């Protein structure tokens, strides 16, 4: 079976890569006409999103990442799993968004993300070292 670091990497990848695609698939929901009835608006939004495979496919993959995350938490330290999965998710979201034509975040955000990823790598390295002992 996969090691915990590989599982966390897969979670970060599934979460991060799918986020820009979910954003693209849900484009236009903000333009649903407001008719005054909350339920009618809700049903219109559901019908708009419900018919879009380009929303549901990445959403389903994203949820697979969530299932893998919960499954990984059975054996992983939560103090390692949370920052590693979330920082990798953020980095993969930025990379995928850029590949899809979105702007890169500002220099400070890129620097912060890089530092978080470096810290995550150190945590993964420590975990691998502990498994080897």
Count helices and strands in the chain by DSSP H and E runs: 5, 0
Q: Which residues of 8-41 are buried (b: 16+ CB within 10 A; e: fewer)?
A: bbbbbbbbbbbbbbbeebbeeeeebeeeeeeeee
DSSP 33: -
pLDDT of residue 69: 96
Percent of the chain whose predicted confidence (pLDDT) is above 90: 32
Say if residue 52's pLDDT is above 90.
no
Which helix (H) or strand (E) element contains residue 122? helix 107-132
For residues 36-53, average pLDDT: 80
pLDDT on residue 133: 65
The proportion of the chain whose per-residue pLDDT surpasses 70, expressed as a percent, equals 95
CB burial of 96-121 (b: ≥16 within 10 Å; e: otherwise) equals bbeeeeeeebeeeeeeebeebbeebe
Q: Is the model's pLDDT at 118 over the cut of 80?
A: yes
**Total domain count for the chain?**
1
pLDDT above 70 (res 1): no
Smallest CA-to-CA distance from 25 within 2, 51, 61 is with 51
Which residue range is the domain that position 55 belongs to? 4-132
Could you report the per-residue pLDDT of 61-80, keeping only the tens digit for each? Answer: 999 999 999 999 998 888 88
In this prediction the pTM is 0.79
């Amino acid at each position: 079976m996969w090691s915990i670091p590989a599982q966390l990497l897969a979670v970060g990848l599934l979460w991060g890569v799918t986020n820009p695609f979910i954003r693209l698939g849900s484009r236009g929901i903000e333009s649903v006409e407001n008719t005054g009835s909350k339920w009618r608006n809700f049903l219109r939004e559901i019908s708009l999103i419900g018919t879009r495979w380009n929303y549901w496919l990445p959403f389903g993959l994203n949820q697979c990442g969530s299932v893998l995350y919960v499954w990984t938490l059975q054996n992983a330290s939560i103090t390692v799993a949370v920052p590693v999965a979330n920082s990798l998710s953020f980095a993969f979201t930025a990379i995928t968004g850029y590949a899809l034509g979105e702007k890169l975040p500002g220099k400070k955000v890129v620097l912060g993300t890089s530092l978080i990823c470096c810290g995550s790598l150190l945590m993964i390295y420590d975990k691998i070292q502990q498994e080897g002992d």
